Amino acid sequence: MRALIVSLGVLTALFVLSLIWGFGLALPGQGATAAAKDYDPRLANFANWPTHYEELGGDRNYVVPMSFFKGFSEAFTEAKGKAVIDFEAGWVSAEVKGLPILEDGFGYEVLLVDNRAGPGNSVALDTGPNGDDIINLGPLDVQGRIATLDQQPGVERLRAFEVDMAVVRRVGPGDSSAFVIGGLTELFYKWNRKLSLAGADPGGVVAADRKRAPSIIGLPAAEASPSVSMLLQSISQGESLFFNETFDGNGRTCGTCHRVDNNLTIDPTFIATLPSTDRLFVAELDAALAKLENPTLMRGPRGLILENIDGFNKAPVFRSPPPMINLSFTGPYGLSAEFATIPQFTTGAVMQHFPKNVGGDPNNITRVAGQDFRLPTQTELDDIEAFLESQFLPQNQDFTLDNFVNTGLEQQGRDLFFGSAKCSQCHGGTVLSDADAGLGGGNQSFATGVVDLAINSGANGGFGPLPLEAGGDREFSTPPLFGVKNTGPFFHDNSVATLTEAVAFYDSVEFNTSAAAGIVGTISLTSAEVDAIVAFLNALVEPQQAAAIPGVTVLGLAILAVMMAILLLWRSRRSPLRGR
């Protein structure tokens, strides 16, 4: 009997300890970090960066895209290009297509910019005495529609130079100049460049971590190297900036239109739940900002936000806020791919949505940095990008479709999606946002005919005709589809309310007479096929975790089973029926 009591006592103690372990509570003498077993899946994306960087050429192929930069560019232009830095050879090359033809005496030059921190400094090009470190690479050689440059600043000049931005300026008599196109460097390149420079612990996933990069998704915080800790700190700071920083503007934050509790977006149903004092409604709260939004289109069934896509001196358009999920796979950014990088997207958003309009005239909203808002610093942009680059659905970043498709109808929809329905010609790749290789691969933009739907002409409750973007010929970026079930209404202007309507659109006259149909061919779908594709798309959500008793671990259940077995054995031996 005594032995039984001792055995049960030991097993009970072990069971209690297993419960404590299961709940993640700290044991005596241990810190909470050591006891916590939660792993941070946000690191998985960054763990793959060093390998991918080397695959792209590493320090010999550091790329900065350039295009129209809303708020910085003197005027809208279709010109696009890139600067490519070879740090190992000390060379920089640039190529730009579509620059406007200039009068005699004018030309174009290329600048590399290291945005320096300091009082009053920001992401903007600052040529003052205490401003940015700038390398003027000299004039572009313009031959027809293509302009090129090759210069060698030298290895040593580039070694300590952090390339934050590349700019093409127009220059002319009297030292006149104007910002034409430019672009901010992706964190992907900057982070990996720091790795190369430091060779130890630059603040990224260090060389020692590269060997275990595939398993860094399961790296406990207690085991994190200083580099990983710095990365997590950057993500945390970026999250705080995204949801709390107003940039000295009208009170809005990035989270005003990208809500943490609504799939990092907003929609008409969600908007209807907000109090009238929410800063989303600044156009209704401040007379000076009355034209910052169109309250009629923002409320009701559309939920659209005013955007000056073609420049602040051009007529606005109206867009639905995109969910900020899986951005690592979906660049360029913006619903019409108008931003080459996330920092450029963020900077444009501050200038677009945050101004106070100190001038007071609602018909002439002022957007003066330092007066109507402050521009982000380079560090703030890097932190916000780190946060956005860590937002995934599913969180474990395993996009294997077999993990999501569970029913016969979902499989039928999957077969149609990648087969006769032609969906995958535009929606392929990791997160179903990449075009088929035959269409150029990567994220592409298409004119699908959505703008021709009756609702966009003011019919069927459209609340007035929407302005035709680019005369009705605007192409729109292909969105990712994981989590699409929860992000309606759909299309760039919330033209249709349900996913069924969105899929059925591709069997419509509007699509089958569009420029996109001219590329992929017309599509014909039965209602049953539409239902099957919708079932497949509805399945692309966070996989449901198996139900579990909180805090009860496998070890705990095993110990409990042993305890029950001992008790049953003891009881059977004491039974009055024993031996009969």
Residues 409 and 480 in one domain: yes
Instruction: Please provide the size of the chain in residues.
Output: 580
The residue with greater pLDDT, 287 or 212, is 287
Q: Confidence class of residue 321 from pLDDT cuts 50, 70 and 90?
A: very high
Q: What is the pLDDT of residue 418?
A: 98
Per DSSP, 339 falls in state B
pLDDT tens digit string along 89-138?
999 999 999 999 999 999 999 999 999 887 777 899 988 888 899 999 99
Does residue 368 register a pLDDT over 70?
yes
Q: What is the pLDDT of residue 543?
A: 80
Give the mean pLDDT of the chain: 84
| Residue in 318, 253, 312, 266 with CA at minimum distance from that of residue 69 | 312
The two tokens of residue 348 are 């444009």
In whole angstroms, what is the distance from residue 123 CA to residue 117 CA?
9
Does residue 245 register a pLDDT over 80?
yes
Q: What is the pLDDT of residue 6?
A: 53
**Contact partners, residue 233, CB within 8 Å, separation at least 6:** none
Q: What is the pLDDT of residue 49?
A: 86
**Contact partners, residue 110, CB within 8 Å, separation at least 6:** 83, 92, 94, 136, 137, 138, 140, 149, 166, 167, 168, 169
Q: Is 576 helix (H, G, I), strand (E, B) or coil?
A: coil
Residues 115 and 85 in one domain: yes
Residues 291 and 358 in one domain: yes
Does residue 373 register a pLDDT over 70?
yes
pLDDT tens digit string along 511-521?
999 999 999 99
Per DSSP, 369 falls in state B
Query: Does any domain span residue 390?
Result: no
Domain CATH for 492: 1.10.760.10
Q: What is the pLDDT of residue 199?
A: 72
Q: Confidence class of residue 9 from pLDDT cuts 50, 70 and 90?
A: low
Q: What is the pLDDT of residue 119?
A: 74
Residues 515 and 414 in one domain: yes
Q: Confidence class of residue 209 from pLDDT cuts 50, 70 and 90?
A: very low
Q: What is the pLDDT of residue 225?
A: 60
Rounded mean pLDDT, 308-327: 92
Query: Does any domain span residue 232?
Result: no
In whole angstroms, what is the distance from residue 299 CA to residue 268 CA?
6
Residues 415 and 534 in one domain: yes
Count of domains for the chain: 4
Query: Does any domain span residue 580?
Result: no
Does residue 12 register a pLDDT over 60?
no
Residues 164 and 268 in one domain: no
Query: Does any domain span residue 234?
Result: no
Rounded mean pLDDT, 484-513: 95
Query: Does any domain span residue 565?
Result: yes
Q: What is the pLDDT of residue 220?
A: 44
DSSP 191-220: HHHHHHHHSS-SSSS-HHHHTTGGGGGG-B
Query: Does any domain span residue 101?
Result: yes
Q: What is the pLDDT of residue 8?
A: 52
Rounded mean pLDDT, 228-250: 92
Q: What is the pLDDT of residue 50?
A: 87
The two tokens of residue 27 are 């044991």
Q: What is the pLDDT of residue 475?
A: 93
Q: What is the pLDDT of residue 428?
A: 96
Residues 431 and 510 in one domain: yes
Q: Confidence class of residue 318 from pLDDT cuts 50, 70 and 90?
A: very high
Rounded mean pLDDT, 537-562: 59
Q: Which of 142, 165, 185 is the last residue before a domain boundary? A: 185
The residue with greater pLDDT, 397 or 135, is 135
- With contact defined as beta carbons under 8 Å apart, do 563 and 544 qualify? no
Q: Confidence class of residue 30 from pLDDT cuts 50, 70 and 90?
A: very low
Q: What is the pLDDT of residue 172?
A: 93
Residues 568 and 532 in one domain: no
Q: What is the pLDDT of residue 360?
A: 94
Rounded mean pLDDT, 215-240: 68
Q: What is the pLDDT of residue 386?
A: 94
Range of the domain at 108: 56-185
Q: Is the N-terminal amide bond of 362 cis, ω within 30° of 0?
A: no
Rounded mean pLDDT, 145-158: 96
Does residue 15 register a pLDDT over 80?
no
In whole angstroms, what is the distance from residue 27 CA to residue 9 CA?
19
Query: Does any domain span residue 517?
Result: yes
Q: What is the pLDDT of residue 202?
A: 38
Q: What is the pLDDT of residue 502?
A: 97
pLDDT tens digit string along 566-578?
555 555 555 444 3
Sign of CA dihedral 530, 533, 538, 544: positive
In whole angstroms, what is the distance from residue 375 CA to residue 369 CA?
6
Query: Does any domain span residue 25?
Result: yes
Residues 509 and 441 in one domain: yes
Residues 350 and 471 in one domain: no
Q: 537-548 burial, b if ≥16 CB within 10 A, otherwise e? A: bbbbeeeeeeee
Residues 65 and 176 in one domain: yes
- The H or E element spanning position 51 is helix 49-55
Residues 14 and 60 in one domain: no
Scanning the structure block, which residue is given the tokens 């939660």? 38
